[in-house]
Amino acid sequence: MSSDLVTATDITEDYFPEVIYHLRQNFFADEPLNKALDLCKRGQPHFELERHCMLTLKQGFSRMLLTQDGRIAGVALNGILKKGEREEAERRLLEIADEKFKIIFGLLYKVNEKIDLFSNYNVQELFECRILSVDEGFRGRGFANTLMADSIKTARTAGFKKLKNSRGLNHRILH
């Protein structure tokens, strides 16, 4: 998927540091839950968020939009969520010292518990768009929609029929 401005491509391991830098400059500070709790400052590292992102990146389903001159315009961090992993993640969350991080992820886990897509759709795993981030300088151009459409295509190619975002909201049924 490409346009005259950007090209969608896999996020390979050599781009991981640049993606983390992009997230520090954009998503970490701008995401509404992070912002509401003042989880971190723009440009600053956050160990737990970066750990979460790296684990997702290593799954190999994440995508990015690159400009013609090689800048990252946006990223979609996609991964596979298996039945039972949320419960294990909730147990690990208890061991984390960062109370703000625990509040945010505790809320996300509770939403996922309530909607229980695994039981509702009788599946063992879901394709999940965990983080969608567009660089501040590229917002308002439809790039989030481009990344979401590209993530859906990636999910289909990988054989998935169910896709959800990190909050369990706006999940899509792939036909």
The single residue listed with the structure tokens 């229980």 is 116
Q: Which amino acid is at 28?
A: F
CB within 8 A of 45, min separation 6: which ones?
24
Percent of the chain with pLDDT over 90: 73
- Whether the model clears a pTM of 0.85, i.e. scores above it, the answer is yes
Burial class from Cβ neighbours inside 10 Å (0-12, 13-18, 19+) for residue 43 reads: exposed
Q: How confident is the model over 49-77, as pLDDT tens digits?
A: 999 999 999 999 999 999 999 999 999 99
- Ranges of each domain in the chain: 6-173
Class of the CATH-defined domain 6-173: alpha beta
Q: How confident is the model over 1-11, as pLDDT tens digits?
A: 545 589 999 99
> With 70 as the cut, is the pLDDT of residue 37 above it?
yes
Q: How confident is the model over 128-156, as pLDDT tens digits?
A: 999 999 999 999 999 999 999 999 999 99
